């Protein structure tokens, strides 16, 4: 059986809450116990610096997140659990990737674009208060992923674009320097709940509507009492649909328990009683983890040892890959030369290609395929073969502008991003 590598990072800016636990921590730990899976989990503290300049908060968050994962059952012996900033090869790979990443690709990254859009809406300079870390974020994330040759990256939907960009970087690097990097895929767990927060919106630190996982039980009770409900009185039947309280309960309860609460809603349970049930259920789930958590928080040096051992494991891989990549790009001892095998391998990577053809409707079409023959882009029908030919020539010459200019005359193949098409066209342009 081939081993599948799964990798994910957690940015160290906050305190883990119920939403993180249900949506990320619990499913990740379950997945790490499956046979045939090799898991990498890391504390993304370089990423934290992009949005947080409070050193104490970064350190505290790193401690709390590490303690949470271990308390929730992550087995550091079985998985590779490390802190990003303990792996100096990651910033080094970031630079190698920076040099094969189009600036235009980064201009289109959602996180950066959203900041620019906000500035434009506010009528200030588009780059006001935007640090270059935010701009480079997808490259750092690409390095995190590509460093350990991850096949799958479990992330939320908001991160899909970053995984696609990491694929583009890997493709581009491999195209230029030979097959060194593995193309990762985003893994979106449809079955995993996104938990609503106190106000019914997604539970998130940015909405300030969270319930911290290890908040003391009495504090947890107060927070749960504050969950938004409607104004139905005791005795009145209540809707489970759209009830944040119900959804949070469901994320912790068994099917039978959930069914019982559903019945209680129909029977008109008072909101206060329903909140009591939720508090009991959540505290019951958290209780066995709490002792370990508190113990680790009180003994940071134990976590530090765990992280150092994880870094040593991770660096066996990262130092080996970086040595290969330095050699591949030409950062070499003087007098040494590229191994012939490597040069031959680099040449073998085949280029994308255009195919032109005529359909039964009498019109002229073209499509773009990658080096392995996979369809990337399909045109609509052109009246004349010359028009199709010109479109191809322009696409080769200025990929992005032409894709925009030809809006409506082409479609990306299923699962192919515009960024991938642009990368393919760029590699054609360069080979010409």
Q: Which residues bind ligand TRP (CB under 6 A)?
A: 7-9, 11, 44, 47, 141, 144-145, 153, 155, 159
Shortest Cβ distance from residue 209 to ligand TRP (Å)? 18
Nearer to ligand TRP, 145 or 392 (CB): 145
Nearer to ligand TRP, 111 or 375 (CB): 111
Nearer to ligand TRP, 48 or 253 (CB): 48
Shortest Cβ distance from residue 93 to ligand TRP (Å)? 12
Residue closest to ligand TRP, measured at CB = 9
Shortest Cβ distance from residue 150 to ligand TRP (Å)? 8
Nearer to ligand TRP, 11 or 379 (CB): 11
- CA distance readout (Å), 397 to 349, 377, 423: 21, 16, 13
Nearer to ligand TRP, 70 or 153 (CB): 153
Nearer to ligand TRP, 313 or 396 (CB): 313
Shortest Cβ distance from residue 34 to ligand TRP (Å)? 19
Shortest Cβ distance from residue 362 to ligand TRP (Å)? 49
Nearer to ligand TRP, 111 or 329 (CB): 111
Report the 3 state secondary structure along the chain: CCCEEEEEEEECCCCCEHHHHHHHHHHHHHHHCCCCEEEEEEEEHHHHHHHCCCHHHHHHHHHHHHHHHHHCCCCCCCCEEEEHHHCCHHHHHHHHHHCCCCHHHHHCCHHHHHHHHHHHHCCCCCCCCCCHHHHHHHHHHHHHHHHCCCCEEECCHHHHHHHHHHHHHHHHHHHHHCCCCCCCEEECCCCCCCCECCCCCECCHHHCCCCECCCCHHHHHHHHHCCCCCCCCCCCCCCCCCCHHHHHHHHHCCHHHHHHHHHHHHCCCCHHHHHHHHHHHHHHHHHHHHHHHHHHHHCHHHHHHHHHHHHHHHHHHHHHHHHHHHHHHCCCCCCCCCCHHHHHHHHHCCCCEEEEEECCCCCEEEEEECCCCCEEEEECCECCHHHHHHHHHHHHHCHHHHHHHCCCCEEECCCCCHHHHHHHHHHHHHHC
Shortest Cβ distance from residue 152 to ligand TRP (Å)? 10
Shortest Cβ distance from residue 44 to ligand TRP (Å)? 4
Nearer to ligand TRP, 7 or 96 (CB): 7
Shortest Cβ distance from residue 122 to ligand TRP (Å)? 24
Shortest Cβ distance from residue 153 to ligand TRP (Å)? 5
Nearer to ligand TRP, 186 or 377 (CB): 186
d(CA 179, CA 170): 9
Q: What is the Cα 261 distance to its own chain's centre?
A: 34
């Amino acid at each position: 059986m081939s081993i599948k590598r799964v990798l994910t990072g957690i940015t160290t800016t906050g305190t883990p809450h119920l939403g993180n636990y249900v949506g990320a921590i619990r499913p990740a730990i379950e997945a790490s116990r499956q046979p045939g899976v090799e898991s990498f989990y890391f504390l993304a503290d370089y990423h934290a610096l992009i949005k947080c300049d409070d050193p104490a908060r970064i350190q505290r968050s790193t401690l709390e997140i590490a303690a949470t994962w271990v308390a929730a059952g992550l087995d550091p012996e079985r998985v590779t659990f490390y802190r990003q900033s303990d792996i100096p090869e990651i910033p080094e790979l970031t630079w190698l990737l920076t040099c094969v990443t189009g600036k235009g690709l980064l201009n289109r990254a959602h996180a950066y674009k959203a900041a620019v859009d906000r500035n434009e809406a506010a009528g200030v300079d588009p780059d006001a208060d935007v640090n270059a870390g935010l701009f480079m974020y997808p490259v750092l994330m690409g390095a995190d992923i590509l460093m350990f040759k991850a096949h799958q990256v479990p992330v939320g939907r908001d991160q899909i674009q970053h995984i696609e960009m990491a694929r583009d970087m890997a493709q581009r690097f491999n195209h230029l320097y030979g097959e060194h990097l593995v193309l990762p895929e985003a893994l979106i767990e449809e079955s995993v709940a996104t938990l609503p927060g106190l106000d019914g919106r997604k539970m998130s630190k940015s909405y300030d509507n969270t319930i911290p996982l290890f908040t003391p039980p009495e504090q947890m009770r107060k927070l749960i009492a504050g969950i938004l409900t409607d104004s139905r009185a005791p005795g009145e039947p209540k809707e489970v649909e759209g009830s944040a309280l119900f959804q949070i309960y469901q994320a912790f309860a068994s099917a039978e328990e959930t069914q019982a609460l559903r019945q209680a809603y129909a029977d008109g349970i008072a909101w206060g009683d329903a909140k009591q049930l939720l508090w009991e259920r959540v505290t019951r789930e958290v209780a066995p983890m709490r002792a370990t958590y508190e113990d680790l928080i009180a003994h940071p040096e134990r976590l530090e040892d765990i992280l150092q051992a994880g870094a040593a494991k991770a660096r066996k891989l990262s130092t080996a890959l970086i040595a290969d990549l330095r050699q591949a790009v030409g950062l070499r001892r003087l007098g040494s030369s590229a191994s012939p095998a490597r040069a031959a391998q680099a040449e073998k990577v085949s280029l994308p290609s255009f195919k032109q053809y005529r359909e039964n409707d009498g019109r002229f079409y073209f499509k773009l395929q990658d080096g392995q023959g996979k369809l990337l882009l399909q045109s609509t029908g052109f009246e004349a073969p010359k028009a199709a030919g010109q479109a191809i020539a322009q696409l080769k010459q200025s990929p992005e502008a032409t894709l925009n200019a030809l809006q409506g005359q082409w479609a990306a193949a299923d699962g192919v991003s515009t960024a991938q098409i642009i990368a393919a066209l760029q590699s054609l342009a360069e080979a010409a």
